[in-house]
Structure 1
Amino acid sequence: MARKKDPDMGRLPGEAPPTQSLFGWLRGRFFAGMVIAAPIAVTFLILQFLIGEIDKRVVPLIPAALNPETYLKYAVPGFGLIVLVVFLTILGAITTNLIGRSVVGIGDRVLSRVPIVRSLYSAFKQLVEVFAKDNTDQFSEVVLIEYPKPGTWCLGFVSSAARGEIGAALGHEFLGIFVPTTPNPTSGFLMYVHAKEVIRLGMTVEEGAKMILSAGLVVPEFPPAAKPEGGSGSRNRTIVGK
C-alpha cells in the first residue's frame, strides 16, 4: 500500500528533506531580504516625492520674512508640508463658525451654478466627503460573493446597505459590495448582492486588503489569535449562508 504524502511538505512521512545548494540558499535569502526592503523603500520614495512636490508649490508662497530658507543656506525638507497642515487647520477652524459657514455656503452655491465647473466641483466634493466622513459602516466587513459564476468566489468589502432609489428598486436587504481588482485595489466594481448570498468573514478590512494586494499570497491567521478579554482587537466570524 502506497504511503500517503504530507500535503504541506510534498514528501512522504519520514522522508528526508531535499538538500539545498548554496546558490539556492543565497537566492532564497536574497528574495526574503527584497520582500522586507521593497515595501520600506517604496513607502520612503512615495513620501519623499509627495513632500518634495508640496514643498515645491507651498514654499514659494511663504513671505521671505517667514521662510527659513531666507536665513539658512539650505532648504528645510517638509517645511511646506508643515505650513500646509497649519493652514488647513486654521481654515477648518474658521469655516466651522457661523460666519465661516455662511461664506462657504455662498461659495458653494456660486460654484454649483457655473456650467462645467459645477459637475467637477460636486463630484470632487462628494468624493472628499465620503473619505472625510467618520462613518464606521464604510468598508467595515470583508465578505465572499459568488462571482463571476456559481462555484467561484471573490473577496469584497461591504460599502453600505442599498438605499435611495436602488434600495426602493431592489429592497433594503441588498448590500453594496465593492469588489477590488488585484493587485490594484483602487480599481474595481460595485455590486448589489442579497445579504443571504454573501459569506461574512472575520478578517479585518486591512487583512482583506493585504490579501488582495498580494494576490492571495498573504493569508491572515485563522482562527485569529486570541485577544485580551474586552480588547478592541477581538473579532467574531459570522457566516451567512444562502
Structure 2
Amino acid sequence: MLARTKIFFKTTLLGGVIVILPTIILGFAFKWLFGMVGNGIKPLTDLVVNTMTLPDRFDQPIATAIVLSVIVLGCFFVGLLVRTRMGQWIYHSFENSVLSKAPGYKMVKETVNQFLGKKESPFSSVALVQVFENDMMMTGFITDRHDNGMVTVFVPTGPNPTSGFIYHLKAEFVHPVEVSVEDAMRSVISCGAGSEKLIRALQPKINP
C-alpha cells in the first residue's frame, strides 16, 4: 500500500510539473522578451510619454502598451515571414541548427502546440486501442488508415507525449472515442489523470 502511494504521489507530482513547466518557461521567456524590447525602444517610449500631456500615473501604462504593441506587431510580421517559402527555409534552418539542440526544446514545443490546439498535428482522432488483442486498452492517436482495413496508431508514453510506440492493428482493436486530441494529450502528460472522458466516451460502445 505504501509503495503504491509513493508511486501515485511521484507520478502525480511529475505529471503536474510537466503540465506547468511549459507555462513557466513561456512566462519567463515573455518576461525576458518584454524587458529586451522595453530597453531597446526606451528612447521611443520616453519621447511619446514626454510629448503627451497626461498625469504621471499614466506614464507606465502607456510605456507598457507601447512595448506590448511592438511585441504583437513583431510576432505578426514574423508570422507573415514564415508563411513565405524563404521564411520557412530560414526558420527551419535556424530550428535545426540551433533551437533543436537546446535541452527540452522539442518536448516544450510539442506540448505547447497541443495546448494551443494547432491543426498541423498528425493525429486525426483519439482512440482506445487493444494492442495485445485482449481486454487491456491504451490511449492512442490514429495517424493513418489503410485500404486493407488496418489502422496505424501512435501510443505515447506518459508523461512525455513526444515519445511512444507505433502499432499497426486491425480496425476491430481500435476504438475511436469522441474526445479532443488536446484533452487526451493532457491525460498523457498527467500520467493518466483526467482519463475519465476517455472511459466515459467508450462506455456506450462496450455497454449498449
For normalisation by structure 2, the TM-score amounts to: 0.50
Question: What one-letter code is carried by the residue in structure 2 that aligns with 1:51?
Answer: F
Q: Within 5 Å, which residues of 2 pair with 1:91-240?
A: 91-93=78-80, 101=84, 104-105=85-86, 108=89, 120=96, 134=119, 138-147=122-131, 150-161=134-145, 173-218=149-194, 219-220=196-197
- Which of residues 53, 61, 76 in structure 2 aligns to 1:89? 76
**Aligned in 2, Cα 1:91/1:208: closer, same or farther, shift over 3 Å?**
closer
Instruction: Choose from 34, 37, 61 the match for 1:58.
Output: 37
- Counterpart of 1:147 in 2: which secondary structure? coil
Cα deviation 1:63-116 (Å, max 9, x = unaligned): 6214689865799668655423212323445776xxxx5xx54984x999xxxx
> Partners in 1 of 2:87 and 2:185 — Cα distance?
40
How many Å separate the matches in 2 of 1:216 and 1:69?
Answer: 52
Structure 1 residue 133 displacement after superposition: 7.1
Paired-residue identity, %: 21
Name the larger-Rg structure: 1
What CA distance in whole angstroms lies between the structure 1 residues aligned with 2:40 and 2:148?
51
Q: 1:64 aligns to what SS in structure 2?
A: helix
Q: Which amino acid aligns with 2:180?
A: T
Letter in 2 for 1:215: C
Q: What letter matches 1:53 in structure 2?
A: W
Secondary structure at the counterpart of residue 43 of structure 2: coil
Counterpart for residue 23 of structure 1: none
Q: How many residue pairs get matched?
A: 166
* Structure 1 position 196, deviation (Å): 3.8
Q: In structure 2, give the amino acid aligned to 1:87.
A: G
* Higher RCO structure, 1 or 2 (CA under 8 Å, sep 6+): 2
Residue type of the alignment partner of 1:183: P
- Please give the alpha-carbon distance, in whole angstroms, between the structure 1 residues aligned to 2:149 and 2:47: 58
The one-letter code of the counterpart of 2:33 is I
- Cα drift, residue 155 of structure 1: 0.6
Unaligned runs of 5+ in 1: 1-34, 163-170, 225-236
Judged with a 3 Å threshold, the aligned counterparts in structure 2 of structure 1 residues 118 and 215 are, in CA distance, closer, same or farther, namely: closer
Backbone CA RMSD of aligned residues: 5.1
Query: SS at 2:197's partner residue?
Result: coil
Tell me the amino acid that sits aligned with residue 189 of structure 2: L
**Any idea what SS the aligned residue of 1:84 has?**
helix
After TM superposition, list the pairs within 5 Å mapping 1:65-76 onto structure 2.
Answer: 65-66=44-45
Aligned partners of 1:94, 1:118: CA distance in 2, in Å? 14
